[in-house]
């Protein structure tokens, strides 16, 4: 509103310089772009990210299978054994030698991380595998994918608004520099006669 009132104030004002009017129009344009175009870009990017991520969710759920594995024996716990996909990022996991049967009927045995605090031989736990029975990370869930898409859209909208603001500041900076350069030229012309009586001013 201040920009619009500023434009109205300069309307028909004899003290209005061309650079003042240009600065007001630049501010109004930046405001309109920030309010309308930046959110639109954010929505478009968020929508595209949502479509891509949801497709990835479907593909992962089709290609990954949940099987039941059995602990053969516990292994020495690694000090860095944490679950990166846990809610807090600090869910301690234990390393075990586990055995399981893949979706294709093949038998597998490998070292894996499990969310069991004190694993014993014979403990059972869920494990995600590919079609050949190899252990893989659990598939991305739909809610997490939506959260990532929203963050992508929001981040893009904020970045677009910041870019508009940077462009506005650069244009205003150039206008102010040009204004000061003209003032210096005028001062150099009037400077030698400044304060001199009868200098024709």
Q: What is the pLDDT of residues 86-120, one digit of tens each?
A: 444 445 578 889 999 989 889 999 988 888 888 88
Region 22-43: mean pLDDT is 91
- Reported as a single tens digit per residue, the pLDDT across 130-168 is 988 899 988 999 999 999 999 999 999 999 999 999 999
pTM of the model as a whole = 0.65
What was the pLDDT predicted at 41? 96
Query: Which position has the token pair 């403990």?
Result: 123
């Amino acid at each position: 509103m201040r920009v619009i009132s500023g434009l109205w104030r300069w309307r028909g004002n004899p003290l209005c310089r061309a650079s003042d009017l240009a600065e007001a129009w630049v501010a109004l344009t930046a405001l309109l772009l920030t309010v309308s175009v930046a959110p639109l870009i954010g929505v478009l990017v968020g929508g595209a990210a949502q479509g891509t991520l949801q497709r990835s969710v479907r593909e992962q759920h089709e290609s990954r299978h949940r099987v039941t594995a059995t602990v053969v024996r516990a292994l020495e716990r690694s000090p860095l054994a944490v679950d990166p996909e846990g809610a807090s990022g600090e869910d301690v996991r234990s390393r075990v030698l586990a055995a399981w049967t893949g979706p294709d009927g093949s038998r597998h045995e490998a070292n894996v991380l499990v969310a069991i605090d004190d694993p014993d031989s014979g403990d059972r736990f869920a494990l995600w595998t590919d079609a050949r029975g190899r252990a893989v990370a659990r598939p991305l869930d739909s809610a997490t994918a939506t959260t990532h898409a929203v963050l992508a859209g929001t981040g893009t909208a904020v970045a677009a608004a910041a870019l508009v603001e940077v462009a506005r500041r650069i244009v205003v900076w150039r206008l102010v520099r040009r204004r000061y350069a003209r003032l210096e030229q005028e001062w150099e012309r009037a400077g030698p006669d400044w304060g001199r009586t009868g200098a024709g001013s």
